[in-house]
Structure 1
Amino acid sequence: MTGSGLSRSRPIVASLAVLLAASGCSVAGADPIGGGPDTLRIVLPEEPPTLEPCDASLTATGRVTRANITEALTERDPSSGRLEPALATKWARESATSWTFTLRRGVTFHDGSPFTAAAAAFSVKRATDSGIDCNVDGYIFADSELTATPVDDTTLRVTTAKPDPILPLRLCFVEIVPTSTDPDSRVREPVGTGPYRIDEWNQGRYLRLKRFPGYWGKAPDFAAATYVWRAEGSVRAAMVTNSEADVAIGLAPEDGAGDRAVEFATNEVSYLRMDATKPPLDDIRVRQAVNYAIDREGLVTAVFAGRPTGQLVAKGVTGHNPRLRPWPYDPERARELVAEARADGVRTDTTLTIIGRNGIYPKAAEAMEVVQDGLIKAGLKVRIKMLDVNAWLEYLLRPFPAGDTGPTLLQAQHGNQAGDAAFTMAQIYGSEGAQSSYGTDALDTLIEQAELASGAKRQKAFADAFAHQNDKVVRDAVMANMTGLLALSPKVRYRPDPSTNDEMRLADMRRAD
């Protein structure tokens, strides 16, 4: 595979002006964000836990960092699926385990240092082979071994321990930083090459980005961007309708955005990750019962927007299996399965804890209450523990919390914006995956075989792996392919795409006047 030519206009990260949470109070009156007509005002459901580039595969971080503050060597067009140039202008596979990337000339980091192959090699190593435990390492590279070597200032060679037919796609998740970046610990405010640089982050209040005058590409329309966050969707919507913000994301239809609302398809899939290592979830009948007990049609009709689905990747992603249907709602069958397990000595009276995340999608807590009700009717004991993003991340990523937390069901959402099931299967279903609570040798083998395949064989291999997971493992209760809703002020023209929730490219936001 090769790529050449100029990248499409790069998105801009907006500066976050974060307000202290003010639940229940009116948002009418003076503009709480400020910044003037040349500032793009954005209100988010939550403050980013970090802007660390190697954690940009996390939604709350990536929607601010990726393609705004930092950039990668390649980028995937979220609508067409094509891999396009970014900081690399072209690439070629030299052998089964070696790729060469030609880098863009004349690119400067926000600190004034030049972008070179040495910086690219440093960034690859920092993200994939350091003690930082970057999320991108587990999510994108899993146990892959690769070495990045500068050939000269504008040529980078990347070699892998085993053949990797989608290496250029994987590298679109490695955000490039200068060699002055701390190689051994996370950074709070990164330096990148993107169209915006960090101006000020007043933690708990706001985050402000300013246009980078030395940007190599087309300058974005807005000189600055300010992010603030409000937990309540109705408050976020009202800030746009009252001209206090220009963009509000993560809305529900009932939040009241009116004619300012814009609906769009996303690549996000909501699911519950079951801890299949602890009773009663270590019995596949109980995991099947959890699936039968969830009224997916009811959830998407009354609680959040989307359509029921039976797998973690959306249509259009390599490996999507069109034969897998959503689990049917069958409360009677759920009760039967729980009763069968109980009769065989399974401890079905052990309390399950749903670990929820506030703001993961609209009506997150209400959705878990619907799930709880269904599981209780199936004969299980269930409690809900809603957490903010930082506490929730402790349960999402290895190493999981120490001590006996009991059997858990983690409220989660997965967006495969890269377009290949390799970015889903190993990290979420592999036995050692960064987000995996349980795996099997048989599924690990299917995943490994699929990762080495190309073309039609790759599609079939991953589709078969998804079918095996659904039939033989049942580690998750997949719920819905989510629909996104945001609100725009009259001064902004913006067409959201399936990756908007994960990387909100502010360079794609234009002045309406």
Structure 2
Amino acid sequence: MKLRYIVLTIVLILIILAISYAALQKKVETTPITSPTETPLPTSKERIVVYAYRDTITGIDPSIEFDTGIVILSNVYEPLLYYDPIKNEFKPALAISWNKVNETAWIFNLRKNVKFHDGTYLTSEAVRFSILRSKLIYEEKGIGPGWIWNCLEDIFIVNETSILFKLKYPVPIPLIVSSAYGAYIYSPNLLRYANASDMIDEKIRLWFEAGNDVGSGPYKIELYKPESEVVLRKFEDWWGWDIVNNSKAPEIVVIKIVEEPASQELGLLDGSIHIATNVAKANINRLLNQGYKIINQTTFHNYILMFNAKRWPTNITDFRKAVLYAVPWNKVIEFAFQGFAKEASGLIPYGYPGYVENLRYEYNVTKAKEILEKLNISNTKLELVITSGYEEEERFASLLKSSLNQLGIDVEIVALPWEQVKEKGVAVWRNPDDAPHMIINDWWPTYPTPYDYLYILHSADIEWNWSGYTNPEYDELIDTAFQLEGIDYDKAIEIYNKAQKVVFDDAIAISIADSIQPYIYDPDRVLIRDEALNPLYMFVIFFQYVEVVS
């Protein structure tokens, strides 16, 4: 009898446990628990693309970010127009039509029924808010790309879907509104979300940097870990899906920060990376023989060697010239870039507005020696800062070190993560002796104007003028040319060319090479349409044009 009760008790307990387990399973299935800081695991049926990028993401505030955040922002936010520099044509984005009223007034008509990621709709007020915030932050705090709106007097709302840009002076405004920096449109409701008092309140930037977004683009931010990984999820209500007509577009985009070329290559080989941007150039042919594919993108991205104009001995113009004469320029493309670049001239890349031919220093060791003897400079040491993981910079630095060593100049090469490189660069304005003698900055445009490349040496640009260069003549030349672009473009180009000659003669900064960017990808996993790339913005992939094939 006692045994019977024991058996019945055990059976009863098992039944209760089974019922409890079933209930618990049902609860888990119907009310999944997700942390706001963790990525919900994608289902096995979701189309996923993993893209390897080599730099930490520097920010995602669409009005302030002026650097690597473009890789994210270009998929999450949209400008009024897109511009194709190769075809020299505009493509409607959030604006479907535009016309010039007079030399200083333009009207843009907005696309209807465009949803932001918060479910609200695009309006003229959203456009005005977004652009004025970029402008005001730059004017009040001196940060971000808001200088592109210096031409703007105000924006007037005509109706819910039409806006009027009133300009201070004539400019090619369609080019400016197509910028991938400082021209993105987003929901003004973020004032409430961030509990901000006004549009330049620091709370807004912090709200964005916490991984939030209110864009209208094809993807929205799901996870934001800027030093390691960013996850984007397809925005099903994006207005453009029918136009793109890509049923195989990724539902999940994982942007992995992978600095080392060897790690990117390994990721390709083990299948954890589908598109790589920074594989060792010497290994590319081997990968192609294994069935991987390559897209070589000719870009307007260049590498600029900048000299510290405030620290001895690079504060001496003739010394800087001696260094440039000592560079074996005939070896730069094949050795440093291993063929993935074009020969540079001046500061502006080939094919870009304002490019000038023959602004190059020849390789002439004899002339370099003569200058150094005249200056009575020998047995000195220079510091060169480069970005770690940038193979082309590392190889150029070794080339320069070897050449200068023959002249009695020792070069200490300091490789740092990109964020620390920037800190070293801006140090020239605080304490020039804390900044390196030389530093390499890679640059791509804000929007197609020569001013963009030349402004990085303007005395007012303490964010990117890592030379500490101050030349009132130069500043006036490029400022004058910029204001002439909408009035007499040919005259503006003529003045820009003169400004480049000033910089060349001062030997303060020079482009090392115009980059060709290889994208290595697994064709068994993805197909990259032509529209996915834009030569203006290196490393940007518009993922709505990528097809997941398996």
User: Which TM bucket (shorter chain)?
Assistant: 0.7 to 0.9
Deviations 1:290-323 (A, max 9, x none): 21122233232123221221222223222111x3
Q: Distance in 2 between matches of 1:352 and 1:273?
A: 13
Q: Report if aligned partners of 2:308, 2:437 keep a CA contact under 8 Å in 1.
A: yes
Q: Which residue of 2 aligns with 1:6?
A: none
Q: Distance in 1 between matches of 2:443 and 2:221?
A: 27
Q: Report if aligned partners of 1:355, 1:409 keep a CA contact under 8 Å in 2.
A: yes
Letter in 1 for 2:372: V
1:435 to 464, 480, 489: 464
Q: Which residue of 2 aligns with 1:280?
A: 313
Q: Which residue of 2 aligns with 1:264?
A: 297
TM-score for both structures, normalised by structure 2:
0.78
Q: 1:449 to 1:398 in 2, by over 3 A?
A: farther
Q: Report if aligned partners of 1:87, 1:104 keep a CA contact under 8 Å in 2.
A: yes
The answer to whether residue 478 in structure 2 is matched with residue 447 in structure 1 is yes
Deviation (angstroms), 1:481: 0.8
Q: Aligned to 1:439, what secondary structure does the other structure show?
A: coil
The answer to whether residue 540 in structure 2 is matched with residue 506 in structure 1 is no
Q: Which residue of 2 aligns with 1:77?
A: 84
Letter in 1 for 2:478: I
Q: 1:410 to 1:399 in 2, by over 3 A?
A: closer
Deviation (angstroms), 1:502: 4.5
Q: Distance in 1 between matches of 2:366 and 2:43?
A: 56
Q: 1:497 to 1:112 in 2, by over 3 A?
A: closer
Q: Which residue of 1 aligns with 2:55?
A: 46
Aligned pairs for 1:396-435 within 5 A = 396=425, 400-402=429-431, 404-416=433-445, 418-425=447-454, 427-433=455-461, 434-435=463-464
The answer to whether residue 493 in structure 2 is matched with residue 459 in structure 1 is yes
Q: Which residue of 2 aligns with 1:485?
A: 518
Deviations 1:348-379 (A, max 9, x none): 766432121123x4343333232233334334
Task: Work out the percentage of aligned pairs sharing the same amino acid.
Answer: 19
Aligned pairs for 1:25-424 within 5 A = 38-58=47-67, 60-66=68-74, 68-130=75-137, 131=140, 133-138=142-147, 140-141=148-149, 144=151, 146-161=153-168, 163-173=169-179, 174-181=183-190, 183=199, 184-185=201-202, 186=205, 187-188=208-209, 189=211, 190-218=213-241, 221-256=249-284, 257-258=287-288, 259-260=291-292, 261-304=294-337, 305-321=340-356, 323-342=357-376, 351-359=381-389, 361-396=390-425, 400-402=429-431, 404-416=433-445, 418-424=447-453
Q: Distance in 2 between matches of 1:45 and 1:34?
A: 27
Q: Aligned to 2:145, what secondary structure does the other structure show?
A: helix
User: Which structure has the higher relative contact order (CA within 8 Å, separation 6+)?
Assistant: 1
Deviation (angstroms), 1:56: 4.5
Letter in 2 for 1:291: L
Letter in 2 for 1:423: D
Letter in 1 for 2:409: L
Q: 1:308 to 1:203 in 2, by over 3 A?
A: closer
Q: Distance in 1 between matches of 2:371 and 2:318?
A: 6
Q: Report if aligned partners of 2:445, 2:537 keep a CA contact under 8 Å in 1.
A: no
Gaps of 5+ in 1: 1-31
Deviation (angstroms), 1:410: 1.6
Q: 1:312 to 1:380 in 2, by over 3 A?
A: same
Deviation (angstroms), 1:488: 1.0
Q: Distance in 1 between matches of 2:59 and 2:240?
A: 26
Letter in 2 for 1:210: R
Q: Aligned to 1:466, what secondary structure does the other structure show?
A: helix
Q: Which residue of 2 aligns with 1:17?
A: none
Deviation (angstroms), 1:339: 2.4
Q: Report if aligned partners of 1:417, 1:498 keep a CA contact under 8 Å in 2.
A: no
Deviations 1:258-308 (A, max 9, x none): 242332212111111112133222221112112112223323212322122
Q: Distance in 1 between matches of 2:238 and 2:93?
A: 13
Q: Distance in 1 between matches of 2:352 and 2:61?
A: 27
Q: 1:103 to 1:450 in 2, by over 3 A?
A: same
Q: 1:74 to 1:33 in 2, by over 3 A?
A: same
Q: 1:116 to 1:412 in 2, by over 3 A?
A: same
Q: Report if aligned partners of 1:47, 1:228 keep a CA contact under 8 Å in 2.
A: no
Letter in 2 for 1:85: P
Q: 1:166 to 1:57 in 2, by over 3 A?
A: farther
Q: Report if aligned partners of 1:320, 1:459 keep a CA contact under 8 Å in 2.
A: no
TM-score for both structures, normalised by structure 1:
0.84
Deviation (angstroms), 1:384: 2.3
> More helix per residue: 1 or 2?
2
Q: Distance in 1 between matches of 2:116 and 2:333?
A: 44
Deviation (angstroms), 1:398: 8.4
Deviation (angstroms), 1:78: 4.1
Deviation (angstroms), 1:401: 4.8
Letter in 1 for 2:189: S
Q: Which residue of 1 aligns with 2:30?
A: none
Deviation (angstroms), 1:195: 0.2
Letter in 2 for 1:217: G
Deviation (angstroms), 1:98: 2.7
Q: 1:365 to 1:423 in 2, by over 3 A?
A: same
Gaps of 5+ in 2: 1-40, 192-198
Q: Aligned to 2:190, what secondary structure does the other structure show?
A: coil
Q: 1:280 to 1:117 in 2, by over 3 A?
A: same
Deviations 1:78-115 (A, max 9, x none): 43232332112222333333322222211111011221
Q: Report if aligned partners of 2:295, 2:520 keep a CA contact under 8 Å in 1.
A: yes
Deviations 1:5-32 (A, max 9, x none): xxxxxxxxxxxxxxxxxxxxxxxxxxx9
Deviations 1:413-466 (A, max 9, x none): 1123633212222x2122212422313122222212321133433333323322
Q: 1:250 to 1:303 in 2, by over 3 A?
A: same
